[in-house]
A and B are shown apart, each in its own frame.
Chain A
Amino acid sequence: MMIWPEVDARRARALPFVIAWIVILLTAGVSAWSAFLGLGIWAPVVQFGIAAIQNRVR
């Protein structure tokens, strides 16, 4: 089942990739920040959740 459309390199524009790159870097900042929030057992859950989102954005 296709959730997101496939990207055709022949017609691809740069802007969506740049936006994805910015989103990944911003979420990485949130992930690093969450490490210092004292979330305890939930910290790895949040950080792996963010990693999964980053992987999907890519």
Chain B
Amino acid sequence: MWCGTLNFVILVTSSLTMVFAINAAAQDPRPNRMVGWLIVTAVLGCAFLVVKGYEYYLDVQDKVVPVVDFEIKPGEGSAGELFWVFYWVATGLHAIHLTVGIGLVLYMLLGRIRRGRITPSYFAPLEVVGIYWSFVDTVWLFLYPCIYLVGRS
């Protein structure tokens, strides 16, 4: 559960830094502040993936990979395997989308901003990337209770 909670904090914080980057793009003609916030956002996105990767490592050790290596624990019926199928598909798809988001942030940094194409008068592409990032974050808001909190009471 701690991996999911840590990732929740990381992802929500990355959304905040993304908002700061967009505000900096809209308000500051110099790109330094925007670039700084975007780098922090990308680093937080990578940190999420590292924590997720470590969690996957623990899951493999725990033999909860359906089809490949799955061991039904005592007191856990066959529905347990269904949960783990959902877990791998949902978190895997989420991780893919987040990877795309990190790629988009890097594209903004290395492509658009470096060439001076994001300015206070035109920052729509960065806003669109921010909306995408927000979508990935929103999905985690709902995945968190679905995966990490369900069935604990």
Contacts and interface: CB of A to CB of B under 8 A. Distances in A.
A33 to B, nearest CB: 10
B16 A37 contact: no
Contacts of B27: 9-10
A34 B5 CA distance: 14
A14 B134 CA distance: 17
Nearest to A44: B150
Contacts of B137: 58
Nearest to A24: B12
Most buried by A among B19, B27, B123: B19
A1 to B, nearest CB: 21
Given A10-B120, A55-B138, A43 B149 contact: yes
Helix, strand, loop or mixed for chain B's interface? Answer: helix
Contact of A37 (B25, B141, B142, B153): B153
Interface of B: 1, 5, 8-9, 12-13, 15-16, 19-20, 22-23, 25-27, 120, 123, 127, 134, 137-138, 141-142, 144-145, 148-150, 152-153
9 contacts: A21-B13, A21-B16, A25-B9, A34-B149, A35-B152, A38-B153, A43-B153, A48-B145, A55-B141
Given A9-B26, A10-B26, 19 more contacts: A10-B27, A12-B19, A12-B23, A14-B23, A21-B12, A25-B9, A28-B8, A31-B145, A32-B1, A32-B149, A35-B145, A35-B153, A38-B153, A40-B153, A43-B149, A51-B141, A58-B134, A58-B138, A58-B141
